[in-house]
Structure 1
Amino acid sequence: MIRKFTMLIALIIGFSQAGFSQGRSKFGNRFVDPFGVVSVTAGLGVAYYMGDLSDGVNMKHLGLGPSISLGGLYRLTEHVSARGELRFYQVSADQKYSKNFQNNLSFKTFNPDIHLGIQADLFSFNKQAPINPYLFGGAGFTLLSPKAKLDGQWYSLAPLTTEGVKYKRLPLVFTAGIGVSFKTTERLSVGLELCNNFVNSDYLDDVSTVYPSPDQLSSDLARQLSDRAPEIGEQPRQPGWSRGSAKSKDSYLFLQVKATYLIGNRMQAQERKKTRCPKF
């Protein structure tokens, strides 16, 4: 994961350097110093889960959920901006639709996350290109809150330690993605963004390693939600049997429509004030 993130940052730097060859043009009728220009962003789309309870893409049961984001961009250079977002997403999965249906595990989660990073635009700020592709990467945190449904009621899984492991609820998340924006007015752009989020945990879905001994678990509810095979007539899973795989950690994918509104910087605000019609 760290290697992939490092490669992405190197790619972003190369991407932004390549964009310098596009040259500068005027913003309106003059060049505007891009440093400190602020934009606000909002996104709406879908989230897709990749982890222990999915073993391939099932087009009929993708487990898609909503994703929303609110954030901002603080421009550093003609091509590079600092980027921050607060996001909310929902994902789910059910093994009855997978090749491991006999385990009968499932989950749903609605989580917040927050991240900071950098964004590199292909075309410079002053060029005001009508279409501008970009790359971005960053790091942040997400709050894990997996739940499972039993007898019509939803239960939070993390406090039950269904694998006999008390895991961190606030792991690191490394974010990497690509997008394209389309300029609609002088200040407003809309676009499409694809973003992968690599969680530094294998417990987004509350599943990672092996079935624990029932004696390790704190309650009958924990035992029921740890091993759900008997619910569908299967034999109870033996301690040490594979419940998940810790070889790869969980991740979630966003596909969003994004809107970006340019607020500007202090100098631009002063210029706008000077051009307002005088009051009589």
Structure 2
Amino acid sequence: MSKKYLLSVALCLTLFHQFAVGQGRSKFGGRYTDPFGVLSVTAGVGVAYYMGDLNDGVNMKHLGLGPSISLGALYRLTEHVSARGELRFYQVSGDQQYSKNFQNNLSFKTFNPDINLGVQADLFAYNRQSPINPYLFAGVGATYLSPKAQLGGTWYSLPELTTEGVKYKRLPLVFTAGIGVSMKTTQRLSLGLELCNNFVNSDYLDDVSTVYPNPDQLPSDIARALSDRAPEIGEQPRQPGWNRGSAKSKDSYLFLQVRATYLIGNRTQNIERRKTRCPKF
């Protein structure tokens, strides 16, 4: 999956960049500024959507949306390409009572941080000063898994309970790819909209992946109760080896955010701004 992802992202960014370069520097208006080293800070707020073993498609009545926020920076490398880094926080949830596997009765909620580094390719060049600028981006990072489930009014952290009889890595890699559009509102502030998918290199974002374990091998009664929740709704206990999830595809989470980008600039631009503010007579 990761090789196909990387090849697809590389192809998209290459085509996007070639098209952008085709716009030509001759169209730039005004004074040319060397784009290298121009720094911007970014912030985003929106919603996060979970895709994994506890849902089987988009259910518009029970999307399980949670908040997402991000703080980061853009460091410009060329007219079209910037290095990008972000610290993000997101909450997602899932509940099988709204899926075709409702009889398993599994559910979870998680609030996780992640960190992501990558590149962003703008359609229009930096010196063109376009009021609207679409872009593509891709990156790699890591997220910390902390799924929880509620039992008897109390929330329990699931990784320590090993509900499938295995200890999984709680800091997996995350591959990110997305698209956005930025609209300049002032000389230094831009607002926009961004959509991105985050592919987790783990199937345990929701604590569900493979089969039901032997309950005698689980560490506690709480672990056994949260491993097999079918009896809570009158179903027969699941036998060891029955499918609890599916490891064929890994989990992911989607962000839709409103974004703000504030241009700080580089040393040359800061000197020019000071000259403008404080003219010499």
> Which TM-score band (shorter chain)?
over 0.9
CA contact (8 A) 1:72 1:85 kept: yes
SS in structure 1 at match of 2:43: strand
Residues 89-130 of structure 1, C-alpha deviations (whole Å, 9 max, x = no match): 000011111111110000000000001000000000000111
Q: Aligned equivalents of 2:204 and 2:159: distance in 1?
A: 9
TM-score with structure 2 setting the length: 0.97
Q: Match for residue 218 of structure 1? A: 219
Q: Which amino acid aligns with 1:191?
A: G
* Structure 2 residue runs without a partner (length 5+): none
Q: Which amino acid aligns with 1:128?
A: Q
CA contact (8 A) 1:13 1:120 kept: no
Once the two structures are TM-superposed, the CA of residue 156 in structure 1 deviates from its matched residue by 0.2
Q: Aligned equivalents of 1:5 and 1:65: distance in 2?
A: 28
* Structure 1 residue runs without a partner (length 5+): none
Q: Match for residue 274 of structure 2? A: 273
Q: Match for residue 106 of structure 2? A: 105
Q: Match for residue 188 of structure 1? A: 189
Q: Aligned equivalents of 1:101 and 1:131: distance in 2?
A: 45
Q: Which amino acid aligns with 1:196?
A: N
SS in structure 1 at match of 2:22: helix
1:43-192 correspondence to structure 2 within 5 Å: 43-192=44-193
SS in structure 2 at match of 1:159: helix
Q: Which amino acid aligns with 2:190?
A: S
CA contact (8 A) 1:65 1:91 kept: yes
RMSD: 1.3
Q: Aligned equivalents of 1:279 and 1:23: distance in 2?
A: 37
Equivalenced residue count is 279
1:215-254 correspondence to structure 2 within 5 Å: 215-254=216-255
Q: Aligned equivalents of 1:275 and 1:57: distance in 2?
A: 54
1:7-18 correspondence to structure 2 within 5 Å: 7-18=8-19
SS in structure 2 at match of 1:77: coil
Runs of 4+ in 1 over 3 A off after TM superposition: none
Q: Match for residue 209 of structure 1? A: 210
Q: Aligned equivalents of 1:174 and 1:211: distance in 2?
A: 29
Once the two structures are TM-superposed, the CA of residue 216 in structure 1 deviates from its matched residue by 1.4
Residues 149-207 of structure 1, C-alpha deviations (whole Å, 9 max, x = no match): 00001000000000001000000000000001111111111111000000000000000
Identity, % of aligned positions: 79
TM-score with structure 1 setting the length: 0.97
Once the two structures are TM-superposed, the CA of residue 20 in structure 1 deviates from its matched residue by 1.0
Q: Aligned equivalents of 2:56 and 2:19: distance in 1?
A: 38
Q: Which amino acid aligns with 2:156?
A: Y
Q: Which amino acid aligns with 1:22?
A: Q
SS in structure 2 at match of 1:33: coil
Q: Aligned equivalents of 1:279 and 1:223: distance in 2?
A: 77
CA contact (8 A) 1:26 1:32 kept: no
Once the two structures are TM-superposed, the CA of residue 279 in structure 1 deviates from its matched residue by 8.8
Q: Match for residue 264 of structure 1? A: 265
Q: Which amino acid aligns with 2:9?
A: L
Once the two structures are TM-superposed, the CA of residue 7 in structure 1 deviates from its matched residue by 1.4
Q: Aligned equivalents of 1:275 and 1:189: distance in 2?
A: 22
Once the two structures are TM-superposed, the CA of residue 11 in structure 1 deviates from its matched residue by 1.2
Q: Which amino acid aligns with 1:175?
A: T
CA contact (8 A) 1:94 1:104 kept: yes
